[in-house]
Structure 1
Amino acid sequence: MKFVHAADIHLDSPLKGLSAYPDAPVAQLRGATRDALTALVDRAIEEAVDFMIIAGDLYDGSWRDYNTGIFFCKEMGRLKRAGIPVYVLFGNHDAESEMTRKLDLPDNVSCFSASKPQTFCIDGLSVALHGQSFKQKETTTNLAERYPAALSNYYNIGVLHTALEGSAAHATYAPCTVDELHAKGYQYWALGHVHEFFQWTGPSTIVFPGNLQGRHVRECGRRGAVLVTVDDRGHSQVERLFIDILRWEHVRVDASACTSLIEVSRCIGQALAALLDEGPTARAVRVTVHGRTRAHGQLFGLEAQLRSEVLAQIAGIGHERLWLEKVQLDTEAFMDAQQSHERLDAFAELQDILATAAVDPEFVEHLRQKLAAFAAKAPLDLHPMVPLIDDIRNGQLHALIKRVSPGLLAHLQQQE
């Protein structure tokens, strides 16, 4: 038999950081989670799977647009016409959703109870699915320990939304351990909540499929679900299905050999062209320029100009499949501090001033006041992307001063 295991669809979840970048393909980004679900249903029908599992976070929190739920019903209707049942477990985001409680789903969709563990049996396949949905978002108890014992002569699947072993990147909802899951005696655990792919083998096959569609630059790389094939002996083979519509990437470009902003821009263009050669999937890209380079002084403070140069590169290599999220600079001056002292005393004196500025309370407060207007006007969805905004509000500007100082010296050296 074959089945699809998906999780963390976050249907109609907004892709974060859009308001800061007016050239973003907003319509494509906003429809990405829907298009990904449609692609998943297409693949399930194409593979003629026996059933589908959705292991939590189908919806995205308290999202109130019922068109989201209606769209999901439409896609489930396609699976119904293909004779494919669906088993849905509601996770922490679903527990906040009105649609979880009110929408009547097609009759091929079975939802796990939130009051206690529930078992669905597919007798024709000798499959038993065990699971419990979240009743409330803050579910921090170990749900798995209450799951029933495995049914003999059945292929047992545990469906669970969990921060397995307390994943540091996710809230510790329904925590448990790999050893606990193995001890249940189930053949397969269909997990959700962690947005990266993980798989453990042993007495049980334990899988996080990751989320269906990356939603921001911290969710880089290929995304999708898994196709599980089970042989006559009950052995499970897991195949990843990559069906994300827009893929987030973080590209690091070494500018060590560059001497000007234009050369850096061309290096970025070459890296992005190579990325497009990897496949037809559209990409949203953050570029970080790094390395000890003679271009460091010229780049200082010119992120916006460099972004425009890179956008021009993108226009020539495939604008319809590539979106630039951000260009950030992490370069270093080609000339070290000791060489700077030896070359020009005036620069050495300025360097000493900058070194003391970071620990001068009066200067730090003056700088904070100057930057406060910028922090007040910054869009809310930009705050997670730009830690500097919180640093300004908290008066924590020491790191900023230390980072800017070498660039300022290099820039002035180049002007000299």
Structure 2
Amino acid sequence: MIKILHLSDIHMGSGFSHGKINPETGINTRLEDFVQTLSLCIDRAINEPVDLVLFGGDAFPDATPAPYIHEAFANQFRRLADAKIPTILLVGNHDQHSQGNGGASLCIYRTLVVPGFIVGDRITTHRLSTRNGDIQVITLPWLNNSALLTRPETEGLSVAEVDRLLLEKLQPIIEGEIRRLDPDIPTVLLGHLMADRANLGAERFLAVGKGFTIPVSFFIRPELDYVALGHVHKHQNLNQANNPPIIYPGSIDRVDFSEEKEDKGYIFLNLIKGKVEWKFCSLPVRSFCTIKVDVSEKDDPQQAILDAIKKQEIKDAVVRLVYKLRSEQLELISNLALDKALKSAHSYTIRPELISQLSRPRLPELGVGNTIDPLEALQAYLNNREDLQDIAEEMLETAQGLMDN
């Protein structure tokens, strides 16, 4: 039975705006949070001990992190080398230069020939000997168009056509790796990619135009015992039949408020040929808390805001307070009072939003015998949504088309 710890998307150095400088260390507290979270993963790997650690990519926010951030990452992974635990560091999209060439932030581990460390920066199969037997790991790093295609091949093609061509190029490459596998040894595919069944949640807008989507069917193969993925920050299993499990562990800490509701952690699994047992292990990460309140119709708007704050558990949390009010209510709000109410938070931001009196809905009164045209209702709604003005005309045209059908 081979024990494996699978983690991904560390993004060490992210979210500094949600932290503050620790006066004792001179380091941003959010970096300290990320280091602490990573250390818990490494602790589990060493204390178990596991036979292999798989990192699914995106070590930092970009390919050239500051030296002190790189050092914080290296200090943790060096513990695996000292414990003689083999580790594969896969190259993700954030680990590459903007041109998509190489794994700039991780290549130092290959250059220094760190014992037991493999940098997965190309599609190939690695055979490793562990304390509890041999294992094969196919590495599939983040792929850009230039990785598989030449400029003449893509000239004049739409995005969808380029994506289809990429898949046509990738499929025989993966097939070639699978055909060279030893059928008697357990096999894992480690990939940093966007799978077509992935539930992105609040991240869905970040995925647009940032790489192509690979069908999950690519990986539902009897030769594969486990598919370890990285890139999507929300933990999920894309193949509930578990033949094989296709797992995103998600990021190990919250990068921003889009991940406010997500549980964070890593995957621990036991693997033999033809059988795998896996478990998602939650990590105790700092909570994020959004407080939204509309006080535009309140006689005492400040008290309404304070009451909303009291209802939330904000101690040591990263908090954002968003309240809506009318312009004439501004003088009724004391920032000092809000600062005092939010004092127990780790950090906080306060964002008032003014409601224009001119933007109030002007809809006919609805009652018995009264109706309103759906398009008029949609137009009134869009008139009150400044954030939708750039697509308002398209929405109206689409609605008209639906009604005409």
Unaligned runs of 5+ in 2: 21-25, 98-102, 148-162, 199-203, 366-381, 393-405
In structure 2, relative to structure 1, the CA distance for the partners of 1:243 and 1:130 (3 Å cut) is farther
CA deviations over 1:384-414 (Å, ceiling 9, x no partner): xxx98xx9xxx97x9xxxxxxxxxxxxxxxx
Q: Are 2:170 and 1:132 aligned?
A: no
Distance 2:249 2:301 in 1: 41
CA deviations over 1:287-310 (Å, ceiling 9, x no partner): 3447xxxxx54885579x465433
In the TM superposition, 1:110-259 aligns within 5 A as: 110-114=118-122, 116-122=123-129, 124-134=132-142, 141-142=166-167, 143=170, 146-147=173-174, 148-149=177-178, 151-165=182-196, 168=204, 169-170=206-207, 171-173=209-211, 175-183=213-221, 185-200=223-238, 201-202=240-241, 203-221=243-261, 222-230=263-271, 234-244=275-285, 246-253=286-293, 259=299
Distance 1:134 1:233 in 2: 27
In the TM superposition, 1:296-375 aligns within 5 A as: 296-297=325-326, 300-301=329-330, 305=333, 308-315=336-343, 318-319=344-345, 322-329=346-353
Asked whether the 8 Å contact 2:15–2:256 carries over to 1, the reply is no
In structure 2, relative to structure 1, the CA distance for the partners of 1:233 and 1:134 (3 Å cut) is closer
CA deviations over 1:308-344 (Å, ceiling 9, x no partner): 43321122xx34xx322334559899xx8789x9xxx
Distance 2:70 2:172 in 1: 31
In the TM superposition, 1:15-164 aligns within 5 A as: 15-16=16-17, 27-96=28-97, 98-103=104-109, 104=112, 106-114=114-122, 116-122=123-129, 124-134=132-142, 141-142=166-167, 143=170, 146-147=173-174, 148-149=177-178, 151-164=182-195
Distance 2:340 2:211 in 1: 45
Unaligned runs of 5+ in 1: 20-24, 277-281, 291-295, 342-357, 360-386, 399-416
How far apart are 1:16 and its partner, in Å? 4.7
Q: Count matched residues.
A: 328
How far apart are 1:177 and its partner, in Å? 1.1
In structure 2, relative to structure 1, the CA distance for the partners of 1:77 and 1:100 (3 Å cut) is closer
Distance 1:144 1:238 in 2: 29
How far apart are 1:271 and its partner, in Å? 2.3
Q: Quote the residue 1:406 is aligned against.
A: none
CA deviations over 1:139-174 (Å, ceiling 9, x no partner): 564456523225423322110010111864425435
The residue matched to 2:278 in structure 1 has which SS? Answer: strand
Asked whether the 8 Å contact 1:91–1:137 carries over to 2, the reply is no
Counterpart residue identity of residue 173, structure 2 = R
How far apart are 1:191 and its partner, in Å? 0.6
Per residue, is there more helix in 1 or in 2? Answer: 1
Counterpart residue identity of residue 318, structure 2 = A
Q: Are 2:321 and 1:287 aligned?
A: yes
Distance 1:238 1:330 in 2: 47
Asked whether the 8 Å contact 1:265–1:306 carries over to 2, the reply is no
The residue matched to 2:106 in structure 1 has which SS? Answer: helix
Root-mean-square deviation (CA, aligned residues, Å) is 4.3
In structure 2, relative to structure 1, the CA distance for the partners of 1:301 and 1:182 (3 Å cut) is farther
The residue matched to 1:42 in structure 2 has which SS? Answer: helix
- Amino-acid identity (%): 15
In terms of mean alpha carbon deviation, does 256-265 or 201-210 score higher? 256-265
Counterpart residue identity of residue 267, structure 1 = D
The residue matched to 1:179 in structure 2 has which SS? Answer: helix
CA deviations over 1:112-141 (Å, ceiling 9, x no partner): 242x32223336334221113347696564
Counterpart residue identity of residue 50, structure 1 = D
Asked whether the 8 Å contact 2:295–2:301 carries over to 1, the reply is no
In structure 2, relative to structure 1, the CA distance for the partners of 1:81 and 1:286 (3 Å cut) is same
Distance 2:250 2:331 in 1: 37
TM-score, normalising length from structure 1? 0.65
Distance 1:43 1:137 in 2: 37
Q: Quote the residue 2:303 is aligned against.
A: 263
Asked whether the 8 Å contact 2:13–2:31 carries over to 1, the reply is yes
The residue matched to 1:43 in structure 2 has which SS? Answer: helix
In structure 2, relative to structure 1, the CA distance for the partners of 1:64 and 1:286 (3 Å cut) is closer
The residue matched to 1:269 in structure 2 has which SS? Answer: helix
TM-score, normalising length from structure 2? 0.66
In structure 2, relative to structure 1, the CA distance for the partners of 1:144 and 1:188 (3 Å cut) is farther
